[in-house]
């Protein structure tokens, strides 16, 4: 196996999204229990160290910017980073509040080798505001240790398993013990014994290590080197999408609110793409600072995952909705999604989807968005052989459910006459038939022989014969 350990050393600071601080090089720290928990490079250069009191840090740098640690924001940001990591591999694990594990052996060829994967990971995380250190090894714990050490080792693009293990074990020997996930007391005992590198303990006989430090540390070292299996539970993509965007300044009018809505549509599109889903129904919410506002839903006949398709129908729907004069929050929820078939994700040489929404579905989406759900009446097929009872109006809640396949029962007219119209057999020219329908003994029993015929006007019709005579039941278009 080939594990990529991702360490985000500045995550507690980066969740505050203070881009001006990073750009201007201003010193900043995150504190927990009035002690420095995370520092940026400017604060470290000023002599501020982890674990120092906030008072000490401010005495060294009076203009220091500090934030209390926000665990909730870190957890939410990590959830987004997991979704970003899914772009590279389906096996992603959260190792710590600031670390991820990616199993990349199965995806290596897809991204062009180790070098390209590392470069794309760093670039992808940098674009969303995070600096990441990457370690590579044959075990999860070793990859995390290498990521924390910051040592950049040269790897072949497509290493064999034996080669992966050989390179990783060599790197382990030179890695400092501070990079391992060890208790401070254990690390201090090693330091007092003059053991400061991982190689100093890896080559100690296991029975001696167990005798001096116990079973837990011995198992940890065995998992670090690959002598024992080290299972990690893979994260699962969220089954529902719900995102909100809080704005710094209020937006006024429908034109201004489109920009944050499009941002959320892009986030939705990425989420749909990672799970190979298409949206069938969405709910938008636009709210004021006090929490008041408006919500409206957007539906699609076919699953949609492109931002342009989602926003086109959203704009039409917005024309019929009264939004607040000033908005501070925009929210988007995916109410109904559907898995996309393979054809939905195939593209031509120009990058266009091979399967586009059909004109009829496009028209229905636009009519529904402009006129509302109640403006169009839809029908569904029922499991009944009698023509009068084989269909019914479709309820609004079921509009976007999977369609029922039409049974192959011969030609049927689109509209039926109610009641059937009596006709003389001499006025009809029978073309095909009969098709016998005998059903409904429990309420309205029918015993009919149906025919496709042409009448005196050369109009195609659907007629039947029963005990009462001949009747025309419908006309073909």
Q: What is the pLDDT of residues 85-116, one digit of tens each?
A: 988 998 999 999 999 999 999 889 989 999 99
Sign of CA dihedral 302, 305, 309, 313: positive
Q: Which residues touch 370 (CB under 8 Å, ≥6 apart)?
A: 316, 317, 319, 320
Same domain for 153 and 118: yes
- Position 344 scores a pLDDT of 45
**Residue 332 · residue 279 · CB < 8 Å:** no
Per-residue CA distances from 226 to 45, 138, 425 (Å): 38, 7, 87
Residue, of 67 and 382, whose pLDDT is higher: 67
Which has more pLDDT, 415 or 312?
A: 312
Q: Are residues 23 and 105 in the same domain?
A: yes
On whether residue 139 sits in a domain, the answer given is yes
Average pLDDT over residues 345-373: 62
Residue 392: pLDDT over 70: no
The answer on 138 and 25 residing in a single domain is yes
Which three-class secondary structure string do you get for 108-169?
A: CHHHCCHHHHHHHHHHHHHHCCCCCEEEEECCHHHHHHHHHHCCCCCCCCCCCHHHHHHHHH
Domain count, the chain: 3
Q: How confident is the model at residue 341 (pLDDT cuts 50, 70, 90)?
A: low
**Highest-confidence segment of 178-187, 228-237, 396-405:** 178-187
Residues 270 and 199 in one domain: no
Looking at the structure, tell me whether residues 249 and 166 fall in a common domain. no
Using the 8-state DSSP alphabet, how is residue 325 labeled?
S
Do residue 81 and residue 179 come from a single domain? yes
Tell me the pLDDT band of 365, cut-offs 50, 70 and 90.
Answer: confident
Of the three residues 344, 373, 402, the one that is the final residue of a domain is 373
In a domain, 380, yes or no: no
| Range from 123-127, 239-243, 434-438 that averages highest in pLDDT | 123-127
Edge-first strand listing for the sheet containing 133-137: 92-96, 99-103, 3-7, 133-137
> For residue 356, is it within any domain?
yes
The segment with the largest mean pLDDT, out of 96-100, 373-377, 402-406, is 96-100
Same domain? 92 vs 169: yes
**Domain identity same for 320 and 419:** no
**Among 348, 373, 398, where does a domain finish?**
373
- Indicate the average pLDDT of the chain: 85
Who contacts 79 (Cβ-Cβ below 8 Å, separation ≥6)? 238
pLDDT at 357: 53
If asked whether residues 402 and 451 sit together in one domain, one would say: yes
Choice between 328 and 339, residue whose per-residue pLDDT is larger: 328
State the angle between helix axes of 71-85 and 253-275 in degrees (0 to 180), rounded to the nearest 10.
60
Is residue 439 domain-resident? yes
Residue 352: pLDDT over 60? no
Q: Please, which pLDDT band fits residue 249 given cuts at 50, 70 and 90?
A: confident
Average confidence (pLDDT) over 278-298: 91
Under 8 Å between Cβ of 450 and 397: no
The answer for residues whose C-beta is within 8 angstroms of residue 195's C-beta and 6 or more apart is 177, 201
Same domain for 288 and 141? Answer: no
Cβ 361 vs Cβ 302: under 8 Å: yes
- Per residue in 1-22, pLDDT tens? 899 999 999 999 998 864 444 4
Assess if residue 379 is contained within a domain: no
pLDDT in tens, 21-65: 444 568 899 999 999 999 998 899 989 999 999 999 999 988 899
The reply to whether 471 falls in a domain is: yes
Q: What is the pLDDT of residue 402?
A: 43
Q: How far apart are CA 241 and CA 268, in angstroms?
A: 7
Q: CATH number of the domain that 333 lies in?
A: 3.30.1490.100
Asked whether residue 201 carries a pLDDT value surpassing 60, the answer given is: yes
The per-residue pLDDT for range 151-195, each reduced to its tens digit, is 778 899 999 999 999 999 999 999 999 999 888 899 899 989 999
- Nearest-CA neighbor of 297 among 332, 340, 273, 330? 332
**Parallel, antiparallel or unpaired: strands 446-454 and 429-439:** antiparallel
Q: 419: cis peptide before it, omega within 30°?
A: yes
Range of the domain at 347: 241-373
411 found inside a domain: yes
Final residue of a structural domain among 197, 225, 253: 225
Residue 354 lies in a domain: yes
């Amino acid at each position: 196996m080939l594990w990529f350990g991702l360490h985000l050393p500045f995550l507690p600071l980066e969740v505050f999204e203070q881009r001006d601080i990073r750009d201007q090089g201003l010193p900043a720290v995150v504190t927990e229990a009035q002690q420095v928990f995370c520092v940026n490079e400017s604060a470290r250069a000023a002599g501020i160290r982890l674990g120092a009191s906030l008072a000490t840090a401010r005495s060294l740098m009076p203009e220091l910017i500090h934030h209390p640690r926000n665990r909730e924001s870190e957890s939410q940001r990590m959830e987004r980073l997991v979704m970003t990591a899914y772009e590279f591999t389906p096996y992603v694990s959260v190792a710590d509040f600031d670390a991820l594990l990616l199993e990349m052996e199965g995806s290596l060829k897809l991204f062009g080798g180790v070098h390209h994967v590392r470069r794309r990971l760093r670039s992808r995380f940098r674009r969303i505001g995070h600096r990441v250190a990457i370690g590579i090894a044959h075990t999860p714990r070793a990859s995390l240790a290498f990521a924390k050490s910051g040592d950049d080792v040269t790897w072949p693009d497509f290493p064999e398993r034996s080669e992966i293990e050989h390179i990783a074990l060599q790197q382990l020997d030179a890695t400092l013990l501070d990079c391992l996930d060890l208790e401070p007391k254990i690390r201090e005992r090693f330091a007092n014994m003059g053991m400061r590198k991982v190689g100093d303990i890896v080559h100690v006989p296991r029975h001696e290590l167990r005798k001096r430090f116990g079973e837990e540390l011995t198992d940890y070292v065995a998992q670090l080197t690959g002598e024992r299996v080290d299972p990690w539970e893979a994260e699962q993509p969220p089954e529902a999408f719900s995102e909100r965007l809080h704005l710094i300044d209020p937006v006024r009018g429908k034109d201004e609110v489109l920009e944050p809505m499009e941002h959320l549509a892009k986030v939705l599109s990425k989420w749909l793409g990672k799970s190979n889903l298409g949206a069938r129904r969405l709910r938008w919410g636009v709210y004021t600072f006090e929490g008041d506002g408006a919500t409206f839903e957007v539906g699609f006949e076919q699953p949609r995952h492109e931002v342009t398709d989602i926003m086109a129908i959203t704009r039409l729907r917005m024309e019929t909705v009264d939004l607040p004069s000033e908005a501070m929050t925009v929210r988007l929820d995916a109410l109904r999604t559907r898995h996309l078939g393979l054809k939905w994700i195939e593209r031509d040489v120009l990058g266009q989807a091979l399967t586009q929404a059909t004109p009829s579905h496009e028209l229905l989406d636009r009519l529904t968005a402009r006129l509302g759900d109640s403006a169009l009446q839809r029908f569904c097929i029922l499991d009944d052989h009698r023509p009068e009872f084989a269909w019914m109006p479709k309820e609004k809640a079921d509009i976007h459910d999977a369609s029922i396949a039409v049974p192959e029962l011969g030609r049927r007219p689109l509209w039926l006459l109610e009641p059937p119209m009596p006709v003389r057999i001499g006025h009809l020219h029978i073309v095909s038939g009969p098709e016998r329908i005998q059903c409904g003994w429990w309420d309205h029993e029918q015993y009919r022989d149906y025919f496709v015929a042409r009448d005196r006007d050369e109009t195609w019709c659907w007629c039947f014969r029963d005990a009462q005579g001949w009747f025309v039941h419908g006309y073909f278009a």
